[in-house]
Chain A
């Protein structure tokens, strides 16, 4: 039955070597997943703000500050949660802004696809425009998100 064995071997080798012969990229498939709803409060990570609020009601959250007990009034707790929601919203807005790449010379944000700064002409630093990770010297694709390095030699 060596014929069957040869057939299997040929199929396996063919299947596995196909990507070596073709041009292929490491770009991640599909769309980005929804942002995780995790929040960090007081050095502790909670799965969501609902969990944080629940832990607060159970008397365990936010160590070091007065915790909610049965005596805390409803409006107090609601007000605290509302204020906290607002602060987290601001924080997210700021972080999203920080994801854009800034030109090291003049501070103008790079537009996606820019190889040189639109204002001052400085070359693009070695930062991946998609995810903000640093390229290493000689990289052809980003080790964080897989996007191809612009200007790098494509294989």
Chain B
């Protein structure tokens, strides 16, 4: 259906407009550059505690992310600074961690904790971020747990 006011050039280009191509290429290139440049300084090696220990002195100063189980009785929290010190264990090894920030919730014995930061020369891990795994979604109960629940 044509309206009476339809007029003007009814040009339908056979090949896509070069301006559109150029803009698309520029946008794509800019995005790729953005991704690449954002990666610098944000790269973290994801290691377990045994792996971190195995690296020895090579691991000092490297930005890493480590996961471990919290040793409840090791938690010391000084709210005035604030400074949170605790220990994580995994695979028989223990890692001392210090975090200049607030104590997260559900920070109790047995919690799965992820820390991001660097290992100091004195073998204490200086954490920039401390995260906890969402507890109820993490455990997958088996019949063994249920049997234990029954005995209680």
Contacts and interface: CB of A to CB of B under 8 A. Distances in A.
Direct contact of A and B (CB under 8 A): yes
Interface of A: 39-43, 52, 56, 61-65, 80, 83-84, 87-88, 91-92, 95
**Size band of the B side of the interface?**
10 to 19
A65 B7 contact: yes
A56 B3 CA distance: 13
B2 A80 contact: no
Contacts of B150: none
Nearest to A68: B5
A83 B8 CA distance: 18
Interface of B: 1-10
A65 B2 contact: no
Contacts of B2: 40-41, 87, 91
Nearest to A56: B5
19 contacts: A39-B1, A40-B2, A40-B3, A41-B3, A42-B6, A43-B6, A43-B10, A62-B3, A62-B6, A62-B7, A64-B7, A65-B6, A65-B7, A65-B8, A80-B5, A87-B3, A88-B3, A91-B1, A91-B2
B70 to A, nearest CB: 45
B2 to A, nearest CB: 7
Contacts of A62: 3, 5-8
